[in-house]
Structure formats: structure tokens, C-alpha cells
Amino acid sequence: MNSKKEAYFTRHLLQWNERENERQMPWKGEKDPYKIWLSEIILQQTRVDQGLAYYNRFVKNYPTIKKLAAAPETAVFKLWEGLGYYSRCKNLIATAKFIANNLNGKFPDTYDDILKLKGIGPYTASAIASFAYNLPYAVVDGNVMRVLSRYFGISTAIDSTEGKNYFTALANKLIDKKVPALYNQAIMDHGATVCKPQLPLCTTCLLQKQCVAFKNDEVRQLPVKEGKLIKKNRWFYFIIAEYKGGFFIRKRTGKDIWQNLHEFILIENEKAIDPVTLMSSEAFKKIAGKKHTVISISKNYKQQLTHQTIHGCFIHIRVGQKPLLKDHELVEGSKLKQLAFPALINSYFATEGRALTVQNL
């Protein structure tokens, strides 16, 4: 690869950052590794405009890592509610406790030690190392790979192992070791505001003269992706079994979606089924018992996840006897709002299920 072209890239990227970059975020220029880590974990698989409010709430409620480590896990998950990918929250809690209990609340200050922390991969470790400690480790995410792919005309798939290794090596070669934090922020911001996935601002880009994709009219073709996600559909039928003013709730603990969130009794079906037909099944009869009253059957709800679409329906019944359920507990209606639920169930609460959390308070 041409060393002059590489030098041109780094020099002009930093010039753009100094002259034109107006992207504002509360964590820009932040040196506290705790807050940098918090922002990076929240922004994994989350849009900035959505994550910002969560970041501000976390900093307000837990201004230090020791405060976060000492907080009840239920409260932390409740604060995280709605962000999705709840394994991030689980890892956040585990890492906070490890640092508070094993490292006396002091965040590690080397890339290798940061990388050892639970829930932290190369990208997040590079971000913390460079932003907090000004260490020369390049961040490599979708924004960065898109900028590099277009500028250098690289057709290696960014979602392949070869591509990830190649772009990581190139990014670390290009980083300005004197100002790594400034460089990392510049390339991420450039990808987010100028070299955008759709409608990039090529005509005003300072890198335009040396950009291979612009010269060859290949901006729309780059970067290249190897494969597309195959999404599946799942049908969830939640049985809201009311018994003596309470509802049967369980926390999801398996390695499936919504880990550590709460839900009502669930019957999952391979395909869509009419709720009335479902209520004639043995699975439903086992829950409802011989004496039960159907209060309501909801409309269909939908939640789109990265790899799958969840279709949900809620059947509210009042039962005369306690169902034999191993992993469910009877929760008073007044306590439902204290628990963290997936977005699908919260959508139901906000519309048809409002009475469950209001009437029973």
C-alpha cells in the first residue's frame, strides 16, 4: 500500500476533525475510563440518539463504578430496560463488581488488562485505552471499515475473518501515535457524518482527491459484505394468569433472548395459531386448570430483533387454583413496575395491559 496515500489520509482526516467536525456528544473528550466504558457498552448495537438518554441516566444514578457495583441488580436491569441485548447489562454488572472488589475501584490502564474484562472486546478496549489513557490502539467498527474500504478501494468483505483482521491491521498502521484519541474520534465521526452508508457527502470531503471509491464511482459498492443475516420468526403466547390479585412471572435465565428480563407464562408455537385454538391445547389447560375466566385476548404485537422477529399475543385469564409452575413466582400487581420486561411486553403494558400495573397498584 502506498505510504504517501496513507500519510495523506491521516493528515487530512485530522485536518477535517480540526476544521469541520462539529459532532457533539457528552462523552467526547472524556478521560474517565468508567464513563468511556459505560458509553461504549451502551452504544454497542444501539443508536447514539437512543443511547444518549440511557448514558445520562446511568451517570446520574451511578456516578462511579463503585456505585454501580453496589447497586441491586434488579435496579440496574430496570434502568437498562428497552436497550436490548441484555447480556451487555449482565456483563456491565459483573465487570463493575470485579473492578470494585478486586481492583479497589481502579479501572485497568493497559490495553491487555482492559481486554480481559468481561464484555469487552478489541473495539471497546481500544476505545478505552486511547480515549482514557491516550494509548495508540485503533478502534475498528463499521464506520471505520467503511471509510477505509472506500478510501483505499478495498473489496475484502468487512464481515469476514480475513476482512476484520485486514482492516484492524490497516487501522493500527494509520493511527497517529501522538494523538491516538483525537485520531480515533475523528475517523469514527467522519464515518458517521461524512462517509455515511447512504448519501455520503463526497463532494465536500477532504479525502476526496485520494479516495479510490470516489474516483472509480464505487462508493455504493463499498464496503463489501459477505453474507446477509437469515432472520426467523417466533410466535410467543403469553398467559397472564391472575390469581388472588397477583400474576405469575418468571425471569428468563437461559441463553436465549431477553436474558435476565421478566415475562408472564409463555407458550411458544412453531407458527401463528388462533388464540382460541391455543386455549384448547393441553399446554394451556395445564396452566389454566378446570376453573378459569378469560378476561381478554390482546391484538398481535411484534418486536424486531437482529436475527429474529418475535410475534406476541397476551391472553389474560383469572384462575381459581395455583398452577403447578416450577420457575414462576406470584408477583403482586403493585410490584410489576419494579421489574424489567422486554420491549414487547412493555408495549402491551402501555396499551391494552395498562390496568395490570395501574389498577392493581
Residue 186 pLDDT greater than 60, yes or no: yes
Segment 138-145 shows an average pLDDT of 94
Q: Is residue 226 included in any domain, yes or no?
A: no
Which of 30, 40, 268, 270 does the annotation list as catalytic?
A: 40
Residue 20, C-beta contacts closer than 8 angstroms, at least 6 positions apart: 206
Q: What digits encode the pLDDT tens for the residues 256-284?
A: 889 889 999 999 999 999 999 999 999 99
Q: In this structure, are 163 and 241 located in the same domain?
A: no
CB atoms near residue 31 (< 10 Å): 11
Q: In this structure, are 64 and 207 located in the same domain?
A: yes
Q: In this structure, are 169 and 260 located in the same domain?
A: no
Number of domains in the chain: 2
Q: In this structure, are 56 and 115 located in the same domain?
A: yes
Q: In this structure, are 209 and 244 located in the same domain?
A: no
Return contacts of 82-86, CB within 8 angstroms, 24+ apart: 82/54, 82/343, 82/346, 83/42, 83/46, 83/50, 83/51, 83/54, 84/45, 84/46, 84/305, 84/343, 85/44, 85/45, 85/46, 86/258, 86/259, 86/260, 86/261
Q: Is residue 221 included in any domain, yes or no?
A: no
More confident residue, 337 or 63: 63
CATH number at residue 171: 1.10.340.30
Last residue of a domain, one of 215, 248, 268: 215
Last residue of a domain, one of 215, 244, 267: 215
Q: Is residue 224 included in any domain, yes or no?
A: no
With b for 16 or more beta-carbon neighbours within 10 A and e for fewer, the 98-137 pattern comes to ebbeeeeeebbeebeebbebebbeebbbbbbbbbbbebbb
**pLDDT classification of 228: cutoffs 50, 70, 90:** low
Asked if 249 contacts 329 with a C-beta cutoff of 8 angstroms, the reply is yes
Q: Is residue 223 included in any domain, yes or no?
A: no
Q: In this structure, are 19 and 117 located in the same domain?
A: yes
More confident residue, 25 or 243: 243
Q: In this structure, are 24 and 154 located in the same domain?
A: yes
Fill in the amino acid letter for 180. Answer: P
What is the reported pLDDT for 229? 58
Q: Is residue 220 included in any domain, yes or no?
A: no
Q: In this structure, are 195 and 89 located in the same domain?
A: yes
Segment 333-352 shows an average pLDDT of 92
Question: Does residue 40 have an active-site annotation?
Answer: yes
For residue 311, the cross-strand partners are: 235, 302
Segment 304-317 shows an average pLDDT of 91
Q: In this structure, are 169 and 262 located in the same domain?
A: no
**What whole-number percentage of the chain has pLDDT above 90?**
77
Domain range for 335: 232-358
- What is the Cα–Cα distance from 285 to 323, expressed in whole angstroms? 10
Q: Reduced to 3 states, what is the DSSP secondary structure of residue 360?
A: coil
Q: Is residue 242 included in any domain, yes or no?
A: yes
- What is the Cα–Cα distance from 81 to 45, expressed in whole angstroms? 14
For residue 31, the cross-strand partners are: none
Q: In this structure, are 211 and 236 located in the same domain?
A: no
Q: Is residue 67 included in any domain, yes or no?
A: yes
Q: In this structure, are 100 and 190 located in the same domain?
A: yes
Measure CA of the first residue to CA of the last residue in the chain; give whole Å: 67
Q: Is residue 225 included in any domain, yes or no?
A: no
CB atoms near residue 170 (< 10 Å): 21
Residue 358 pLDDT greater than 80, yes or no: no
**For 102-106, 128-132, 254-258, 356-360, which range has the lowest pLDDT when averaged over its residues?**
356-360
Residue 111's nearest CA partner among 90, 91, 131, 88 is 131
**For 129-133, 177-181, 229-233, which range has the lowest pLDDT when averaged over its residues?**
229-233
Q: In this structure, are 206 and 239 located in the same domain?
A: no
Last residue of a domain, one of 190, 215, 240: 215
More confident residue, 259 or 177: 177
CATH number at residue 335: 3.90.79.10
